[in-house]
Structure 1
Amino acid sequence: MPPNRVLYIAGLFMASSVPALAATYGPELQGFQYPYPLAHFSFESQGKTLQMGYMDVPASGKPNGRSVVLMHGKNFCAATWEGSIKALSDAGYRVIAPDQIGFCTSSKPEHYQYSFQQLALNTHQLLEKLGIPKATLLGHSTGGMLATRYALMYPAQTEQLALVNPIGLEDWKALGVPYLSVDQWYRRELKVSAESIRQYQLNTYYVGRWKPEYERWVDMYAGLSNGPGHKRVAWNSALIYDMIYSQPVYYEFKDVQVPTLLLIGTADNTAINKAMAPPEVKAKLGNYAVLGKQVAKLIPHATLVEFPGLGHAPQMEEPARFHQALLQGLNAL
């Protein structure tokens, strides 16, 4: 083989063995492409001018006159609802997908008193600005806790509630999960990497099954966490983790009066700070095959749809199957 051919092959081998440089994004996810046009809602909150990024997608199918508000999870963004936005829009819904304050394309204030009530109020103000008096709320993961709080605060403005593998189906602190201070969470969040995100999601969200399309969302989260605003991102993330741990909605499921659809991947095992729990506690946490059934009995007007063997994000694992169940469920409520 000619020497130059050997050098060429060696060069290809070296290039393929060196990982590509990870993308980084601005503190409000600048540089990451959203699937639909992104708008911003500016408002005053706690003495600050803040902005929420959001997508407002009209019905692409025959309009049914109904609106759906999508509430993302802790390690997700409005963009991760991409498949659900299309499915709902095709079915005739107007779809509003905001990024909550502290997340993704929205403001990350240096000082903010995070509560699910505050985030619900922010979202309610956005819907008022958009002229939406009543909507169906679809919340995933932490977004399920927020959607529940919204339905409790604004029952007259909530047409239906749909919860996709919501966290908060149990009270972790009451079960013995150790408390982490905001400073401890902050130090942990500063160490976030693409590899740690991928490994956590593989084990916790996807039941050990990885698909290439998940990589985009790892890139999104890691690029935000390691970008030029990484300290502010990590600090807000720490404040949000404290909110999630400290503000359970579990005890108020009995007070939810709107029709509710529970969509549960039964192989999910997500629980806040589960890794720090004693072994005997850890073994009992995040058992969604049990938790879904328990909470369906607590909510007065609940319908449970289970996806056996799926994990924390069934809308991403098996989108066609999930969206068929979602649309049928919303029509039946």
Structure 2
Amino acid sequence: MPAQRLLLALALLLSAPVSAQPQAQKAPEALGIAMEGYPYPAPVQYLPLTIQGQDVRMAYMDVPPSGKANGRTVVLLHGKNFFGAYWRDTLRALSQAGYRVVVPDQIGFGKSSKPAIDYSFHLLASNTKRLLEQLGIQKAAVVGHSMGGMLATRFARLFPEATTHLVLENPIGLEDYRFAVPWRSTEELYRGQLGTTEESIRNYQKTYYVTWRPEYDEYVQVMFRQTLSGEYPRLAWVSAATEQMIFQQPVVHEFPLVQAPVLLVIGQEDRTVVGRARVAPENLSKLGQYPELGKRAAKAFPRASLVELPGVGHIPHFEAPEKWHTALLGFLGK
């Protein structure tokens, strides 16, 4: 009888519905540091480059106009914690308005190579110019968000003959961080990157927005899943090196030298500060004051227009896309 009861119990257990059994939570899948398999909104091509003795490839999208072509080109430059694909809605709006749109992933970012090199805005701007030359583009409007705003400014300074318009969307570097943010070595920054967690990424990215939305978590997951890759230490070094680039290579002092007409689009709730964790609390309130910084920058550029967006944070093209596209297309259409 005991044996019969045991067999009956086993039969009942095996016949229980699957839903009654506890489900193991699926672990996040690692994402390669070249973002293999991550979909971009347009076909990705590659420009081969040799930089400081290393052969690398620069990923980019080259999207033709879907509306009536106007013969003009716009280059979209991404921020530090992002990559070209996050421009998908702006890319579509520009293409529909008749523009050819070129969207590079800078070396060290997105689907491009991640070499351990000496990063500089001069280098990234020169790479971008080489891409345009490869594509047969002599002149373009250059649009930069966040770190891309610093790069766009450097591009406009290095290649004024190739820059028809300069558009800065909540750029970092409207102030010189060296005056208020304590310096850290690249090695220290690198060790900090190795300690990155999903929670730390999400908490930082939440500072970008006035109101967090579930769809923003996509960009948290991309960064987190890359930390699970066996190649992540290489990406962590690049992240540290490019943070050092931002800190050591300010562009704010060169605003008066920019020749192109400039549009500044500033979300008024933005308080982004590079290296904010290293700033003493009593000094932090003096930094990242974008309403003031936007006005100051508009006065510094020889020919600048300022569009202020109340209730918007660091990424207007996510939080207020219609207002952003209206301002962008209106400026380019002048």
TM-score interval (norm. to shorter): over 0.9
Q: Which residue of 2 aligns with 1:28?
A: 34
Q: Which residue of 2 aligns with 1:253?
A: 255
SS at match of 1:161: strand
1:122–1:314 Cα change, 3 Å:
same
Q: Which residue of 2 aligns with 1:310?
A: 312
Shift of residue 191, structure 1, vs aligned partner: 1.8
Shift of residue 280, structure 1, vs aligned partner: 2.1
**What TM-score does the superposition give when structure 1 sets the normalisation length?**
0.93
Residue of structure 1 aligned with 2:208, choices 205, 210, 231: 205
Residue of structure 1 aligned with 2:104, choices 92, 98, 101: 98
| C-alpha distance in 2 between matches for 1:227 and 1:168 | 31
1:1-333 equivalence runs, <5 A: 10-11=20-21, 14-15=22-23, 20-110=26-116, 112-174=117-179, 176-202=180-206, 204-207=207-210, 209-332=211-334
Amino acid at match of 1:142: M
Query: Is the deviation greater in 276-285 or in 218-227?
Result: 218-227
Structure number with greater Rg is 2
Structure 1 residue runs of 5 or longer lacking an equivalent are none
Amino acid at match of 1:122: N
| C-alpha distance in 2 between matches for 1:226 and 1:98 | 25
Shift of residue 210, structure 1, vs aligned partner: 1.3
SS at match of 2:112: coil
| C-alpha distance in 1 between matches for 2:30 and 2:263 | 37
| C-alpha distance in 2 between matches for 1:288 and 1:136 | 24
| C-alpha distance in 2 between matches for 1:5 and 1:163 | 63
C-alpha RMSD of matched pairs (Å): 1.7
SS at match of 2:333: helix
1:3–1:229 Cα change, 3 Å:
closer
* Cα deviation code 1:45-91 (max 9, x no counterpart): 21221110111111001111110111000000001111111111111
* Cα deviation code 1:134-177 (max 9, x no counterpart): 00000000000000000000000001000000000000111x21
**What TM-score does the superposition give when structure 2 sets the normalisation length?**
0.93
| C-alpha distance in 1 between matches for 2:252 and 2:58 | 27
> Aligned residues, how many?
323
Shift of residue 321, structure 1, vs aligned partner: 2.3
Amino acid at match of 2:227: S
SS at match of 1:261: strand
| C-alpha distance in 1 between matches for 2:14 and 2:31 | 39
1:95–1:6 Cα change, 3 Å:
same
SS at match of 1:69: strand
1:5–1:326 Cα change, 3 Å:
farther
| C-alpha distance in 2 between matches for 1:190 and 1:63 | 46
Shift of residue 283, structure 1, vs aligned partner: 1.1
1:253–1:215 Cα change, 3 Å:
same
| C-alpha distance in 2 between matches for 1:19 and 1:246 | 43
| C-alpha distance in 2 between matches for 1:53 and 1:186 | 24
| C-alpha distance in 1 between matches for 2:20 and 2:326 | 50
Whether contact under 8 Å (1:60, 1:92) holds in the other structure is yes
SS at match of 1:34: coil
| C-alpha distance in 1 between matches for 2:158 and 2:152 | 10
| C-alpha distance in 2 between matches for 1:220 and 1:38 | 18
